[in-house]
Amino acid sequence: MKLFQEIHYWERLMFEIPHYAAEVYTKREDLRSAREHVLLVVRDYNRYGENIQEQVQNSEDQAKHFAKWGLQILSWTEHQAIIHTGT
């Protein structure tokens, strides 16, 4: 982005612009568009990563909670479990 500003001022001052810089400058709109798309993808990726981390943390908390509860269920006999779920 700084290169585009620099080239703009070189043009205004009527300086000769190196050919490689002029080529990049002619594609500036395509490059800006690509940059914006990349930023959107990165933002969405980061949000997805944050959501995954929250879900993992919630899952770990739930797993700990259910593990305590589950151990009690596992200690029941089959007959007690059937009676409990039937009521």
Tens digits of residue pLDDT in 5-15: 888 888 888 88
Q: In the chain, what percentage of residues exceed pLDDT 90?
A: 10
pLDDT at position 14 = 87
Residue type, 63: A
User: Is the model more confident about 55 or about 70?
Assistant: 55
Helices 2-12 and 19-26: crossing angle in degrees, nearest 10, is: 110
pLDDT at position 68 = 66
Phi, psi for residue 63 in degrees, rounded to 5: -65, -40
Is residue 80 scored above 70 in pLDDT?
Answer: no
Burial (CB count within 10 angstroms: exposed 0-12, middle 13-18, buried 19+), residue 21? middle
Q: CA separation (Å) from 48 to 15, 36, 53, 81?
A: 47, 18, 9, 40
